[in-house]
Amino acid sequence: MKPRIKALSAMVAPVALAAALIGVVRAQEIYAGGYRQQTGEDLYRGLCQGCHMPDAKGAAGAGAYPALADNVRLVAGIYPITVVLNGQRAMPSFGEELSDEQIANVINYVRTHFGNRYKDAVSPAAVKAARR
């Protein structure tokens, strides 16, 4: 008896394209996921102190990071609102990544800590109005 030679046919399993199921994730959502902090203190710790330092006294080295502590330039809330929204030279903008509320919260935190005693809190509406 001759051994039967069996031809093996390769079975190609159909592959479902996972890609078809993956929605497009907008960059905005990725950023929003990265900046979940809501309180002014958490936002400061997460986003600002890397440059302005934990004590907000700033630093000079490869670049110059101004002190936010005891800073008379924060007297008018619109100034930090504009800087945080739009950035300024080496200061990055946060207008697209943070909500009006988050920006107001972090500014209010800075304006009432680190030796700053500005009592007139900035509102999310003021941040919204300053967006261009």
In 3D space, the residue among 132, 84, 131 whose CA is nearest the CA of residue 108 turns out to be 84
Residue pair 7/73 in contact (Cβ under 8 Å)? The answer is no
Question: Could you say whether residue 32 binds ligand HEC (CB under 6 A)?
Answer: no
Question: Could you say whether residue 65 binds ligand HEC (CB under 6 A)?
Answer: yes
**Closer to ligand HEC at the Cβ: 14 or 49?**
49
Cβ neighbours of residue 40 under 8 Å, at least 6 residues apart?
A: 105, 106, 107, 108, 109, 110
Question: Could you say whether residue 40 binds ligand HEC (CB under 6 A)?
Answer: no
Structure token pair of residue 75: 């007297």
Contact characters 70-89, ligand HEC, x per CB under 6 A: -x-x------x--xx---xx
**H helices of 18-93, where?**
18-21, 27-34, 40-43, 49-52, 78-86
Shortest Å distance, C-beta 29 to ligand HEC? 19
Structure token pair of residue 116: 């700053």
Q: Which stretch binds ligand HEC (CB under 6 A): 6-14, 15-23, 31-39, 58-66?
A: 58-66
Q: Which residues contribute to the site for ligand HEC (CB under 6 A)? A: 47-48, 50-52, 63, 65-66, 68, 71, 73, 80, 83-84, 88-92, 94, 106, 110
